[in-house]
Amino acid sequence: MIGEQNFLEREPAPVKRGEQRLEPEGVLVENGKLRDDGGRYQVNALCATPACKNNGCNSKVVLRGLRAQFARGLQGDFGMDEQGRESIAVPGWFWAAAGLALLFEAFGCVMYLMQVTTDPNSLPIDQRAMWSATPPWIVGAYAVAVWVGLIGAVLLLMRRRLAVPVLLVSLVAVLIQFGGVMLVPALRQVTPEDAYTLPIAIIIACYGIFMLSRLADRRGWLR
């Protein structure tokens, strides 16, 4: 936003000790301090430079840093990571998307367990033929896709950079799994045309989850 950029880039005027001034952005400057008087984002800090001790505060670096901290607080909550460094604010829609990704991957694990534990003889004839024609390597790719994808979704919710390569492995496994339908002639012959809709939707969803992790990594939401 333009107003926020001006807020960050404007050069702070020298503040004499004992002077009070209410900035347009609502930051109270008092005795070399900057603080948000609204009570939500406390940005209290006293410049400890020699200039400040000599009845004048000309430390532009300190003032600019405090102003930047307050501006980031206007965008959303932020805290400290495990190394004690300030973390970047994460928007609410990211948590919603990551939660949906976790539910999607968990549902895939449930479907996998149902498939591998179901007796093929209890399936309809067409599904039984598809199951009999499915080679073990496709079943293995299915397992990697769902379980690795579940791990990746958990890492994404934990805001870990490791989620990016893990979700990439899951996406590749999904492509191998459904690509096998076209590569295995016996399986391709017994697969009806309307059965391709669901695999395409799953591939798109897995690709979207992977791109979400890349976006979060580029914007510094992962650590």
Q: Is 80 helix (H, G, I), strand (E, B) or coil?
A: strand
Residue 83's SS3 state is: coil
Q: Which domain holds residue 25?
A: 2-75
| 68/96 same-domain check | no
Is residue 103 included in any domain, yes or no?
yes
CA neighbor of 119 nearest in space, from 127, 208, 158? 127
Asked whether residue 106 falls in the same domain as residue 138, the answer is yes
CA 93/CA 41 separation, integer angstroms: 22
Look at residues 25, 49, 75 and tell me which one is the last residue of a structural domain.
75
Q: Is residue 80 part of a domain?
A: no
Pick the last residue of a domain from 42, 75, 108: 75
Give the integer Cα–Cα distance in Å for 40 and 27: 12
Does residue 99 share a domain with residue 58?
no
101 with 67, same domain: the answer is no
How deeply is 149 buried, as exposed, middle or buried, from its count of CB atoms within 10 A (0-12, 13-18, 19+)?
A: buried
Residues 127 and 199 in one domain: yes
Co-location of 112 and 166 in the same domain: yes
CB atoms within 10 A of CB 45: 15
Domain count, the chain: 2
From first to last of its 223 residues, the chain has per-residue pLDDT tens of 444 444 444 445 554 544 444 444 444 444 444 444 444 433 344 444 444 444 444 444 444 544 554 444 444 444 445 544 445 789 999 999 999 999 999 999 999 999 889 888 888 887 888 888 889 999 999 999 999 999 999 999 999 999 999 999 999 999 999 988 888 888 888 888 778 888 999 999 999 999 999 999 999 999 9
Q: Do 8 and 52 fall into the same domain? A: yes
Task: Give the H/E segment covering residue 166.
Answer: helix 163-183
